[in-house]
Amino acid sequence: MSKTLSTVKCLITTALLIGICETAFGNTPLRLTKSEWKMIRKPFANINVRFIGASFCLWIIGTLLGSCDRLKGITTIYGTVTAPGYGPVDSVRISVIASNGFVRTKFLTNAYTDKEGKYEVTVDAPRGYSQIECSVVLDSDPVSSKEYRVAEAWQDGKKIKNCCSVVAGWKANFDFKLFK
């Protein structure tokens, strides 16, 4: 609900600003006498005032739309954790962090698998972070940390080598296979 409300607010604000800019710098001719026009025009002989005003309005609109881009950070990661030959693994912690693509990371949340080995977590990427990463953490449970080790990660049914990152705002399926 709040995502929809924020989207509506961004669109209304942008529409209002476009209306204001059109009124201020639109096609309405200026009502000046020739002498007034010469006095104004002389210092700015090579500058088109309407072009500058319209450019400024477009810059403000772009800035506002850039803040609306923040709405795209809602990311959902889901999947299953299984142990081949043993079936689904219960209560495995999945750690979710945000990354900016360089060295800066920020912890977001943990998710735990259910009895069927499934997990799902939805997060909102913080401003400045473009990637959401998840990983299996086995050291939180003494039994599972001694019993299992992470061996394979799968994304959408395909085995992957570099685990497990998704662009903020997307939905991704990561399955993990644990081996004894």
Q: What is the pLDDT of residues 1-29, one digit of tens each?
A: 444 555 566 666 666 666 665 555 555 55
pLDDT at 86: 83
Higher pLDDT, 55 or 69: 55
Q: What is the pLDDT of residue 50?
A: 60
pTM, entire model:
0.59
Confidence of residue 108 (pLDDT cuts 50, 70, 90): very high
For residue 101, what pLDDT is reported? 73
Question: 3-state class of 145 per DSSP?
Answer: helix
| Rounded Cα–Cα distance for residues 80 and 88 (Å) | 7
**Residue 41 pLDDT exceeds 60:** no
Predicted confidence at residue 10, as pLDDT, reads 60
Query: Would you say 180 and 83 are in contact if contact means Cβ atoms under 8 Å apart?
Result: yes
pLDDT of residue 4: 54
- Over residues 110-136, the pLDDT tens digits come to 999 999 999 999 999 888 888 999 988
Residue 42 clears pLDDT 60, i.e. is over it: no
Mean pLDDT, the chain, as a whole number? 76
**Strand positions, DSSP E, the chain:** 74-83, 87-88, 93-99, 105-112, 118-124, 131-137, 149-155, 158-160, 165-167, 171-179
Q: Which of 65, 56, 89, 87 is nearest to 13 (CA)?
A: 65
**Res 35 pLDDT > 80:** no
Choice between 34 and 70, residue whose per-residue pLDDT is larger: 34
